Structure 1
Amino acid sequence: MFARFVSLSSTVLLLSACSSGPISHKNTAGFSEEGGASYYADKYHGRTTASGEPFNQNAMTAAHKRLPFGTQVRVTNLDNEKSVIVRVNDRGPFVRGRVIDLSKTAFQRIANTRAGVVDVKVTVMGH
């Protein structure tokens, strides 16, 4: 019985440590991650984002799974070192290996859209 309790407690602790819930503003200092970046298809222009504002392909915005809305992040293309600063205003991407979705304008500042997905480093600048 005790072994079962310890096993269950360990599982709960492990799952809570791997939580993919939102990050609070106070926990974003020093946050960075690497992974894939893509951009929104044109069909999303004008649609409402998770923050409630309309999506604008020409704005310097992005979708991130966990960072608070309004967080400013630097996105750096790891292949060419070009970077752009964007504001998180939506949730996503929901594709394995991708860490951020950029507006088309933001993506074009760091890569050619024909690339589709590029490896980036995302670093929190502020909120």
Structure 2
Amino acid sequence: MTFGKTPALAGLLAVGLVSTLGVESASAQCGRASWYALHSKTASGERMRPLALTAAHRSLPFGTRLRVSNKTTGKSVVVRINDRGPFIRGRFLDLSKGAARTIGMGGVGSVCIARL
């Protein structure tokens, strides 16, 4: 495959492909998310605050910070993992009501997450 007559241009294009495909896609995960509001303690032992910017994930360590982006609205929010879940098939993240509201997500939505 040739990128033109100049080797410098070919090198720049190759570097652009590596940086575009490597870092972003390796750290981002997309899927279905929902929101929830408990009035009890979370799995981390904290009291659930529905308007806080928190989330539940099955395996990420408590305290992990994620940037969550709504694929429909393009809005994003930074949340902290403090609970386990979701326990519904086909979903990989539960957002607090406040976090879901911030990104304009209804009951269930398509989101992408990136670990910070």
Normalising by structure 1, report the TM-score. 0.67
The one-letter code of the counterpart of 1:116 is: G
Structure 1: gaps spanning 5 or more residues? 1-29
1:62-97 Cα offsets, whole Å, 9 max, x none, are 000110000000100011110000000000001122
Amino acid at match of 2:95: L
**The residue matched to 2:87 in structure 1 has which SS?**
coil
SS in 1 for 2:30: strand
State TM-score, norm by structure 2. 0.74
Please say if 1:78 is aligned against 2:78.
no
Aligned equivalents of 2:99 and 2:84: distance in 1?
16
Q: How many residues align?
A: 91
Deviation at residue 37 of structure 1 after TM alignment: 1.3
Q: 2:100 aligns with which of 81, 104, 107?
A: 107
Q: Which amino acid aligns with 2:93?
A: I
The equivalent position to 2:107 in structure 1, one of 116, 120, 124, is 116
Q: Is the 8 A contact 1:77 1:110 kept in 2?
A: yes
Distance (whole Å) between structure 2 residues aligned to residue 31 and residue 54 of structure 1: 29
Structure 1 moving runs of 4+ over 3 Å: none
CA contact (8 A) 1:65 1:91 kept: yes
- 8 Å contact 1:62–1:86 — kept in the other structure? yes
RMSD in angstroms over aligned alpha carbons?
1.2
Aligned ranges 1:93-104 → 2 under 5 Å: 93-104=86-97
Whose Rg is larger?
2
Structure 2: which 5+ residue stretches go unaligned?
1-25
Task: Please tell me whether residue 33 in structure 1 is matched to residue 29 in structure 2.
Answer: yes
Q: Alpha-carbon deviation of 1:31?
A: 3.5
Aligned to 1:92: 85
Q: Report the alpha carbon displacement of residue 33 of structure 1 after superposing the two structures with TM.
A: 1.3
% identical equivalent positions:
52
